Structure 1
């Protein structure tokens, strides 16, 4: 069991400013909504899987690195 909050952020210029609008956009655009997360296989990834299944919406995962430059 994991209890870890997730934060969903969109650019200020985006018309997506609520979860309802995010889900609707993902349902309409079939994979065109990109999502980045820090841990594939982690709780944020499982949240996205569950969100996708429960709302019948697809998202495209875009990985990003976690290394700090030295």
Structure 2
């Protein structure tokens, strides 16, 4: 990576996801900056098989209903 950093960043900017290895082992992923990344249903389906959160009804009552935009004023 040291010798090809600029080329790798250009490839990531063009949409490629690159796996960076250290001594042959995956250490990081270099890819394009994106606010959202689409997932396939197969990647998420098991989440919906988990049991429901039994504390949700009481936790929901702790939300006071006042919401603010954390990015406002930036």
Q: Shorter chain as normaliser: what TM range? A: under 0.3
TM-score, length-scaled by structure 2: 0.24
TM-score, length-scaled by structure 1: 0.25
- Relative CO higher for 1 or 2, CA cutoff 8 Å, sep ≥ 6? 1
Q: Which has the larger radius of gyration?
A: 2
